[in-house]
Amino acid sequence: MRGRALTMVLWSAVAFAGGACATQPDPEAANADAASASFDARDFNGIWQGATQDLTEHLLPGEEIVLTEYGAQRYRAIDHAKFPGNTCLPYGPNRGMAATNPYMVVQTPETIAVLTEHIDYRVFYMNEKAHPDDILDYPEWMGHSIGRWEGDTLVVDTVAIRPESWLDRGGLEHSDKLHLIERFQKTSADAFTWTVTVEDPVFFVKPWTYRLDVERLDFPRLIPDRCDDNEVDAQYMQPTPGAIHTNPPKMPGN
């Protein structure tokens, strides 16, 4: 009896120990969960990338791009040889933040700066309630942006964008009436969504909205990409007509 009792005690101890081991949490998973749960939803400092050539691939469900008569005229006449980036001109905010080149966000309570590898920048003025009265008289390639917080979502209002820039590489253009509302929302410590509503009554019948998923890059620094340092092709460019979009805009009357 004593031997049987001792055997049962030993088996019980082994079973208990095995069960305890089976239910022990994975330290790495626990650390990852803790990091995800504790990230600062308002901290966008770092180097990021959310690239696409074609904004029509990222339209939100139910969204569509409907061109005005003038917008359709320009769309039918698009020539990729005239893309501003081909001659080393700045990209503008839409294309600049969706290019393959990454960008760096540098954040303070008063301003948030977006520095691109294309040697350009945006500044979100967080303490301004409205755009200056004369801002439309002084358009910039990246426009004038004011920001505010809606909970943990950064909302940016941008106007006064020079009309030479393109919205994407596929051939979407805009006028000097372009108005952007952007929403930056962290989804984890290393990712956020960039949701943009495009309003331009000269080119589009109604506003439309797209969204890109943006990821943090493990880069120690930006590497400036000075187009003029390496540009050798502009003089050889040939006309390349025809916009390239997965979901082409609707033409007037369609």
- Cα gap 137→98, rounded to integer Å: 27
Task: Work out the burial of residue 31: count CB atoms within 10 Å of its CB; fewer than 13 is exposed, 13-18 middle, 19 or more buried.
Answer: exposed
Task: Tell me the pLDDT tens digit for each residue of 68-127.
Answer: 999 999 999 999 999 998 889 999 999 999 999 999 999 999 999 999 998 899 999 999
Confidence of residue 254 (pLDDT cuts 50, 70, 90): confident
Beta carbons of 152 and 42 less than 8 angstroms apart: yes
pLDDT of residue 70: 98
Confidence of residue 24 (pLDDT cuts 50, 70, 90): low
- Higher per-residue pLDDT: 32 or 84: 84
Q: Which residues contact 22 (CB under 8 A, 6 or more apart)?
A: none
Find the mean pLDDT for residues 214-219. Answer: 96
Find the mean pLDDT for residues 185-197. Answer: 98
Find the mean pLDDT for residues 230-235. Answer: 80
Of 17-26, 98-107, 186-195, the one with minimum mean pLDDT is 17-26
Confidence of residue 18 (pLDDT cuts 50, 70, 90): very low
- CA 29 to chain CA centroid, Å, is 28
pLDDT of residue 37: 59
Mean pLDDT of the chain: 88
Which residue in 32, 246, 36, 76 sits closest to 173, CA to CA? Answer: 76
pLDDT of residue 21: 43
